[in-house]
Amino acid sequence: MRGVLTGLAVTSLLSIAFSARPGGGALDVGSISGHVKLTSRVRGVPLPSNAYQSRGVHRHDAGSTPEIRNVVVFLKDAAYRGALPVGHGVIQQQDEAFTPRVLAVTRGSTVDFPNSDPYFHNVFSLSSAAEFNLGRYPQGKSKSRTFTRAGLVKVYCQIHSHMSATIMVLDHPYFTTPGLDGSFTLPQVPEGRYTIVGWHERVGEQTSTIQIEAGRTASVELSLPLGDAP
């Protein structure tokens, strides 16, 4: 059974990609070890979106997934040489919600959308990075989409308007989802200076600059003002 792409899966993709590099010599790479903290913010106007207007979300749509698992950490505009490793992810349609709500994949990866509910669902997107409509299908059926262009893909169900998910498609494998404690690791990063991003759909990007040196582990802390202060 295919699993959802996780930080561990991405780590494996990175290891495979670099070990298979032509020449087999030592590479000038380091790693990143960090932590994401979700903090409170003063109530204010929601961040604007250039793709979709805000949608009302029913409480059951949030599911039981901790918010930290809806964060993606990645290197912004990082270059990657060679064949980009691809994966196969899964977003379930269950209890009138997409699970996981956020998924990051490399360009060229495929995502399955199985329907686990006892009624029809639909999967569609009007995003510039991937515009598609998989149609309506019943419980026990699954449809797939391969994402060939980098960018943010917002996914919805035409039948249940409160259902939504985000797929982040990246041109490199330098990304991960933090663990439940907020910790994360990005291995096999070529040396250089980067902008590292902590992203959440309701917050947008929080960035920090980081320097990678060969054979060393760089540390970084990222803070996302996710919750509203009372």
Residues 6+ apart with CB under 8 A from 131: 125
Domain ranges of the chain: 7-228
Q: What sign has the CA pseudo-torsion 151, 187, 103, 223? A: negative
Low-confidence ranges of the chain (pLDDT < 50): 1-4, 6-12, 14-26, 42, 46-62, 229-230
**Residues pairing with 142 in the sheet:** 114
Q: What does CATH list as the number for 7-228?
A: 2.60.40.420
pLDDT of residue 83: 93
Structural contact between residues 172 and 79, judged by C-beta atoms closer than 8 angstroms: yes
Burial of 132 (0-12, 13-18, 19+ CB in 10 A): middle
What's residue 82's pLDDT?
87
Please list, in sequence order, all residues whose beta carbon lies within 8 angstroms of the beta carbon of residue 13, skipping any fewer than 6 positions away. 85, 87, 106, 173
CA distances for 93 relative to 8, 67, 136, 162, angstroms:
23, 18, 12, 12
